[in-house]
Amino acid sequence: MSESKQHTIVTGGAGFLGSHLCERLLKEGHRVTCLDNLLTGSTDNIAHLIGNEDFQFYKFDVTNYIYIEGKVDNILHFASPASPIDYLEHPIHTLKVGSMGTHKALGLAKEKGARFLIASTSEVYGDPLVHPQKEEYWGNVNPVGPRGVYDEAKRFAEAITMAYHRAHGIDTKIVRIFNTYGPRMRVKDGRALPNFISQAICGEDVTVYGDGTQTRSFCFVTDLVDGIHRLLNSDLHEPVNIGNPNEVTIGEVAEEVIRMVGSKSRIVHRPLPADDPKVRQPDIEKAREKLGWEPRVSREEGLKKTIEYFRRRLKE
């Protein structure tokens, strides 16, 4: 490993987003250390990076004290369950990785004088009363509902990140990630697009929760990673929305997936889960103005690549 290269730690680096970030950072000339306890991540996601002399993987739970030898230039904290089925199954660990894990990662940033970027989420806005959602909106979150374990963990993570910036002068960044999709999502991820695609490919009924009129805004993973990379290299410290502002109903997306797969699946409706947001659309003016970023991959192009990936995985 070259000591002249930037050394970047990615927690949760074997997950869907984390693995794409590791890949991008290696292409940008970084040395990358990936930490992941594999609760929801998989070494399959980083198998193609093993053997690269600038990449190291350690199975590690970041709610424990993190020791890294030598210099560290950047820490990207992406460790956390992110799908409702995961954080409902692992509620306490979700709270711990958002609180204790963020605290430990920030402690390492303080020790090493490293830049720190936290993966936050549009879920900090809860079931929003403001539409579209701007970074200045404080949110409408039920702290004691079943989804609160994820929402409040991320809200705490943002708060402690800003506290370390103000109290210790750490160069911190906060990215609020809106719905993202693409290759390396798990077949049984539990979120809308993986569910729709896997069900349609298998010819099963496609499950839509509620009446399908609730909206989401889907961003392809390479667009998201580009936005995060720009944010890492910016002088911004306040939260920044990164997502695709092209809003669509869940029912429309289900029909789109069935059409693109060429499936005979039919749509069936199930009750809407508690506190499920009725609308979700990012206001990305800050990202456009400050980072020169906006999404470039159309939903049709992104879905085509994602469907191809799911076809391969379902054959394994």
CA 235 – CA 172 distance, rounded (Å): 9
For the purposes of burial, counting CB atoms within 10 Å of the CB of 175, is it exposed (0-12), middle (13-18) or buried (19 or more)?
Answer: buried
- To 10 degrees, the CA torsion angle through 282, 288, 291, 296? 80
87 is catalytic: no
Is the backbone of residue 262 left (phi > 0), alpha (psi -120 to 50) or beta?
Answer: left
Single-letter residue type at 116: F
Contacts of 209 (CB under 8 A, 6+ apart): 250, 269, 270, 271, 272, 273, 276
Contacts of 79 (CB under 8 A, 6+ apart): 11, 12, 15, 18, 35, 36, 37, 62, 97, 101, 105
Single-letter residue type at 222: T
Going by C-alpha positions, the residue among 151, 101, 103, 118 that lies closest to residue 238 is 118
φ/ψ (deg, to 5) at 291: -115, -10
For the purposes of burial, counting CB atoms within 10 Å of the CB of 180, is it exposed (0-12), middle (13-18) or buried (19 or more)?
Answer: buried
φ/ψ (deg, to 5) at 42: -150, 140
CA 193 – CA 187 distance, rounded (Å): 10
- From the list 150, 164, 181, 209, the catalytic residue is 150
Going by C-alpha positions, the residue among 54, 147, 39, 167 that lies closest to residue 103 is 167
Lookup result for tokens 């929801």: 40
Q: Catalytic residue positions?
A: 150
